[in-house]
């Protein structure tokens, strides 16, 4: 007569559980045998994994990689002298640059724009060649003369996240204008300051200087004539006006 191994109760031969404590008496049911995995299936899985890894590595290898370049480039643009021109309208915009404006005698020219750029830039350039001015910045400069009026429209753009990323950047835009021209200037920079220097006899038909991040300085000397509205604005920097015996016939807003 069998007995329960746990509580010692007497058991019938046919029972599988102890009626007193519920302990399993019969032999445990055999686990169903697992069907072995096909060798071909294993080989296919391995091949798929290997092919996927190779494809990913190939894509990574052939994608253009950004490289960091040290740059020190410059460019110079000008408008040659044209008879009978006595007025200039200059509209200039820069995203990241310090802008200097001055009036100087320019033999054979009416206006010049000199731009210098230095720093470190990260670009997608697999060849690794030295970068030119046009590789790292965009500069437009358009001029037209109608009657006796020269109109110049120019834009400097150094930031283009789709093409380049600057690690460090220093940019300067120097504008020189013939002092014999009556000037209407509209100059704006997003990041950087603006400095205006004049000389005696310069006539402003209008003037607008705006720096979003950076200061504005305007130096007006004896006998400068302000014949139109003047606006000097800055968002985060200071605005400094140096004024000495200036003839003003219109509003000046600082």
Confidence of residue 26 (pLDDT cuts 50, 70, 90): low
| Beta strands 216-220 and 230-234, pairing class | unpaired
Number of domains composing the chain: 1
User: Would you state the pLDDT for residue 7?
Assistant: 73
Q: What is the pLDDT of residue 15?
A: 67
How far is it between the farthest Cα atoms of the chain?
A: 132
E strands present in 51-108: 66-80, 87-96, 98-103
Q: Regarding predicted confidence, which is higher, 30 or 46?
A: 46
What pLDDT is stored for residue 177 in this prediction?
A: 98
Mean pLDDT calculated for residue range 160-182: 88
pLDDT at 22: 62
Tens digits of residue pLDDT in 189-234? 999 999 999 998 999 999 999 999 888 998 888 888 888 888 888 8
For the cut 80, the answer to whether the pLDDT of residue 19 exceeds it is: no
In a domain, 196, yes or no: yes
Residue 35: inside a domain, yes or no?
no
Whole-number pLDDT of residue 226: 86
Q: Residue 112: beta bridge partners?
A: 78, 176
Does residue 233 lie within any of the structural domains? yes
Per-residue pLDDT at 98: 95
198 or 54: whose pLDDT is higher?
A: 198
Q: Is residue 56 scored above 80 in pLDDT?
A: no
Higher pLDDT, 21 or 115: 115
The domain in which residue 164 lies consists of 66-253
Look up the pTM and report it: 0.71
Residue 219 resides in a domain:
yes
Decide if 11 is inside a domain: no
Residue 54 is assigned to a structural domain of this protein: no
C-alpha angle 104/169/79, rounded to 5°? 30
What is the CA angle 95-98-99, rounded to 5?
95
Cβ–Cβ under 8 Å, residues 166 and 191 = no
Q: How confident is the model at residue 138 (pLDDT cuts 50, 70, 90)?
A: very high
Does 38 map to a domain? no
The CA distance from 70 to 118, in Å, is: 8
DSSP state of 3: B
Please say if the pLDDT value at position 102 is more than 60.
Answer: yes
Structural domain contains residue 43 = no
pLDDT at position 218, please?
87
């Amino acid at each position: 007569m069998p007995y329960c191994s746990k509580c010692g109760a007497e058991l019938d031969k046919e029972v599988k559980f102890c009626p007193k404590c519920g302990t399993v008496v019969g032999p445990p049911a055999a686990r169903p045998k697992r069907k072995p995995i096909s060798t071909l299936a294993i080989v296919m899985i391995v091949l798929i994994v290997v092919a996927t890894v190779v494809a990913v590595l190939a894509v990574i290898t052939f994608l253009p990689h950004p490289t960091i370049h040290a740059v020190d480039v410059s460019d110079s643009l000008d408008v040659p002298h044209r008879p009978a021109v006595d007025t200039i309208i200059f509209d200039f915009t820069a995203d990241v640059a310090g802008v200097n404006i001055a009036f100087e005698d320019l033999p054979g020219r009416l206006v010049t724009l000199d731009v210098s750029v230095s720093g470190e830039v990260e670009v997608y350039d697999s060849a690794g060649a030295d970068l030119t001015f046009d590789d790292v910045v965009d500069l437009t400069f358009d001029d037209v003369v109608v009657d006796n009026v020269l109109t110049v429209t120019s834009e400097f753009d150094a930031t283009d996240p789709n093409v380049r990323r600057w690690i460090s950047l220093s940019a300067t835009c120097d504008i020189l204008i013939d002092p014999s021209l009556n000037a209407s200037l509209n100059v704006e920079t997003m990041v950087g300051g603006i400095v205006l220097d004049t000389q005696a006899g310069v006539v402003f038909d209008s003037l607008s200087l705006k720096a979003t991040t950076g200061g504005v300085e305007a130096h007006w000397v004896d006998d400068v004539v302000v014949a139109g509205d003047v606006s000097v604005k800055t968002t985060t920097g200071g605005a400094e006006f140096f004024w000495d015996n200036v003839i003003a016939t219109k509003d000046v807003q600082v």
